[in-house]
Homo-oligomer: A and B are copies of this chain.
Amino acid sequence: MRSSADDLTTRARIRDAAIGLFGRDGFSRATVRAVASLAGVSPGLVIHHYGSKAGLREACDQHVLAQTATQGREKADPGSTGRLIQDYLNNPDQYTEEIAYIRRSLGDESDAGDAFFDAVVNQCQDIIHAGIEAGTIRKFDDIRSIAVVIASNSLSILMLGRHLSRTLGDPAPEPNGIGPDLLRQLTLPLLEIYTHGFYSDARFLHAAREALEGNNTNNGREHAP
Contacts and interface: CB of A to CB of B under 8 A. Distances in A.
Interface of A: 26, 28-29, 81-82, 85-86, 89-90, 103, 106-109, 113-114, 117-118, 121, 124, 127, 131, 135-140, 142, 144-146, 148-157, 159-160, 162-164, 166-168, 180, 183-205, 208-209, 212, 218-225
28 contacts: A81-B223, A82-B221, A82-B224, A86-B221, A118-B167, A124-B225, A136-B200, A137-B200, A138-B199, A145-B186, A145-B188, A149-B189, A149-B190, A149-B193, A150-B193, A152-B157, A153-B153, A153-B225, A159-B159, A180-B220, A184-B220, A187-B222, A188-B209, A188-B212, A193-B194, A195-B199, A195-B205, A197-B197
A18 B108 CA distance: 19
B163 A106 contact: yes
Contact of A90 (B107, B135, B155, B219): B219
A42 to B, nearest CB: 24
Candidate in A28, A107, A151, A195 with the most chain B CB atoms within 10 angstroms:
A195
Given A90-B219, A197-B197, 12 more contacts: A28-B28, A89-B222, A114-B163, A138-B196, A146-B192, A150-B225, A152-B153, A152-B157, A155-B160, A191-B223, A194-B198, A194-B199
Nearest to A204: B191
B195 A202 contact: yes
A190 B142 CA distance: 11
A218 B212 CA distance: 46
A15 B190 CA distance: 40
A167 B117 contact: yes
Nearest to A109: B162
A109 B188 CA distance: 28
